[in-house]
Chain A
Amino acid sequence: MKFLALVKKEFRECLPWMCLAFIIFTGFGALLLRGKVLYEEGRRKEIWREEQVVPWCTSPISDIGPLLLLTALGLGLVMAIRQFYVPAFDKTWAFTLHRPIRLITAVHAKLFVAILGLTLSVGLPWTGMFLYAAIPGRFMDPVLPKVFWEGWLMVGLGFILYLGTAVSSLCQARWYTTKVCGLAFAAGIIFLAMAESPFPAPLVLTAIGLVVLGIQVYALMQSKEF
């Protein structure tokens, strides 16, 4: 009941940003996918006429990757600012935390809403797009399952940036000192994960980033002065 009340409050506060991320990703994603479908139709006709050799496409939905990454990162950043930075400005930390709950319950509600927000706004539309592209006969080139998990990895990177921003927001040091460490660490993980490397490596890096930043968020919440 108490957790649900906190979740509802956090969800409502992040809802405009979730909607915006959903509209941007679904809108532009649909346009990109539509372009791909049209291209595919032209390609089929050209192959049928045997007029020219059409270049091989690596993956029919690879164009959506950068959009997915940028939307996930943007949403992660904005949600962390809304949940951890804004309360310090409008001085609502004490009002939120002075109630019969454990501090950790409030943190869990925030993290839960962040995961939910990324899943609903970016993750599920991505799954929908992948399933659409994977319908047999839709594209001539195969849609590999690996691409699906790479997409979810990008959603995970959005959560990494969320945690990094949360750590920086909660840290009471100055911006030009250790306060930037959370964001810098998250940026490093994202950069390394996106660098060309065999697939399990980005997954491992993301997992390490989640654990390190997650522990930091808990530790900072426990020691923070409100």
Chain B
Amino acid sequence: MGEIVLQTRDLTKYYGRHLALDHLNLKIPKGTVYGLLGRNGSGKTTAIKLLLGFLRPTCGSSEVLGCDSSDLTPEIRGRVGYVCEGHPLYKWMPIGTLENFQKAFYPDRWDKHLFDEMLDYFTLSRKQRIRSLSNGQRAQVSLALAMATSPDLLVMDDPTLGLDVVIRRQFLQGMIHLIQQKGKTVLFSSHILSDVERVADRVAVIDKGVLRADCTLEQFRTSIRKVRAERTGSLPAGFDLPGTLHCRQDDSVTEWIVVGTTDEQLEQAFSQAPVKGFSCVAMNMEDQFIEFTTPSGNRRLFEWEERP
């Protein structure tokens, strides 16, 4: 793992008695596009706000670009772009005024050329007031404002939430533009899996405040599998496949959702079971995510851990 841009150590947050984030341990290397996945209320926004110092942890700590999150210096904040959830901007400002406002804080880093380019790409005019923009257009302005500050780290909290397919595609193209620049790190949360699949190279899954997966996208895609076996008799009591998340049975077929189970492990398990044969059924990422985060699933998937 190269230079660590963002790190959390047992980061925990309670809202009153409600546990929003439970001992989160993350390490994000430089140059990574990191997708933070989770259902609504899973703790993604809390994690991001803790990282940027907008919330105080109940216990644990986090670091951004080597600086403790609870005491981020102006210099470090200047290197981190942030696209807030819902894209809240000053509604009374025209885009041009907002640009001047933002530019005043980044005299050395402001990339006017990129900002102009992005406005052109999104077909936005400087005269348009934020109040008159749609949700999608506000998202585009937010992204342009964050990217024009030439951030070393771009943090985006559910940036594509509520956007239509076309705007989402444009937004992601804009994001890819940043990613293509060398050494830039992106952390974004989302529950739109096609977006994550399109741009992320690492994913973390948070479920009810608990980190359930932290691995490469490739590993996530290949580790969660659906195994189908046709039975010839009833399975012995206690029979289970290694890494089973769920198991469904009908008259003659049993399906398992497994995590991190190798072909050898499957062959070995089925060798003594009354089955005709087994096959691995392809799953899309959405199905994988749903199976991985449904209430009965409690498996974890970490790159550095031994497979279950």
Contact = CB atoms under 8 A, between A and B. Distances in A.
A99 B148 CA distance: 13
Nearest to A98: B82
Interface residues of A, number: 23
Nearest to B76: A100
Interface string A1-40: 1101100110011000000000000000000000000000
A226 B45 CA distance: 12
A5 B88 contact: no
A95 interface: yes
A165 to B, nearest CB: 21
Nearest to A89: B88
B49 interface: yes
Contact of B78 (A91, A97, A99): A99
A90 B101 contact: no
B57 to A, nearest CB: 11
A125 B64 CA distance: 50
Contacts of B52: 94, 98
Interface majority SS on B: helix, strand, loop or mixed? Answer: loop
B165 interface: no
B92 interface: yes
Contact of B49 (A13, A94, A101, A102): A94
A37 to B, nearest CB: 41
A100 B90 contact: no
Interface in B59-93: 74-75, 77-78, 80, 82, 84, 86, 88-92
Contacts of B49: 94, 225-226
Contact of A99 (B56, B90, B91, B105): B105
A98 B77 contact: yes
B74 A101 contact: yes
B236 interface: no
B20 to A, nearest CB: 12
8 contacts: A5-B101, A5-B105, A94-B54, A98-B80, A100-B105, A100-B106, A226-B54, A226-B55
Interface of B: 49, 52, 54-56, 74-75, 77-78, 80, 82, 84, 86, 88-92, 100-102, 104-107
